[in-house]
Chain A
Amino acid sequence: LAKTTQPISMDSYEGQEVNITCSHNNIATNDYITWYQQFPSQGPRFIIQGYKTKVTNEVASLFIPADRKSSTLSLPRVSLSDTAVYYCLVAPRDSNYQLIWGAGTKLIIKP
């Protein structure tokens, strides 16, 4: 099962673009990369999922290089409300029970 490594914490400022990189060196061929956001005392919320290249939705973009050994979550123009913990997970798409939750990245947005 693929494990992930993320920075423990990051700081940024309102209006900036924030990039959080995740390392997953032993990702398997059928693994997808999924990011979740979690606010204090709430359940995690799905942000984005991808397999390769680039995926974009209304909230974020996910960049995955050709070797798939890492991925970068990009949050455009962050606001104070984006302060949260962000988890990068790797697992087969239909096997959520295999998700391994790493420590996550605590993102703090400052005014």
Chain B
Amino acid sequence: DTEVTQTPKHLVMGMTNKKSLKCEQHMGHRAMYWYKQKAKKPPELMFVYSYEKLSINESVPSRFSPECPNSSLLNLHLHALQPEDSALYLCASSQAFFQGASGELFFGEGSRLTVL
């Protein structure tokens, strides 16, 4: 199984809603990532988890709250978002950070978020 599965594929929410994006992988990867991608732009790194611990937070606003319940799952909790947060949210995984690990990132298909 070389898939990263993201749900939901599409999400529409109001600025006062609370919602969550979910990501799952069963490749035994110990590093998981959240990226945000706006139209016609490259992916922007948001968060990195390594061995279920938050390793990188790229100065993301607190209205985005990541969670890694176990080594296979990654969530992104959303609260009080702004319309400019509308984007494609991508989850990725890779082998853990150690010398000689493959550089390959495995991405999910993304969750298309629209904030009204």
Contacts and interface: CB of A to CB of B under 8 A. Distances in A.
Interface of A: 32, 34, 36, 41-46, 49, 87, 91, 93-97, 99, 101-104
Contact of A94 (B41, B44, B100, B106): B100
A49 B110 contact: no
A99 B97 CA distance: 13
A96 B112 contact: no
B76 interface: no
A45 B3 CA distance: 11
Contacts, number: 67
Contacts of A97: 33, 45, 48, 55-56, 97
Contacts of B44: 101
Interface of B: 4, 31, 33, 41-45, 48, 55-56, 88, 90-92, 94-95, 97-110, 112
Contacts of A104: 42
Task: Say whether chain A's binding surface is mostly helix, strand, loop, or mixed.
Answer: loop
Contacts of B109: 41-43
The 4 A-B pairs of least Cβ separation, nearest first, read A43-B107, A101-B42, A94-B101, A46-B104
Given A94-B97, A94-B98, A95-B97, A46 B45 contact: no
A87 B110 contact: no
Contacts of B106: 46
B56 A43 contact: no
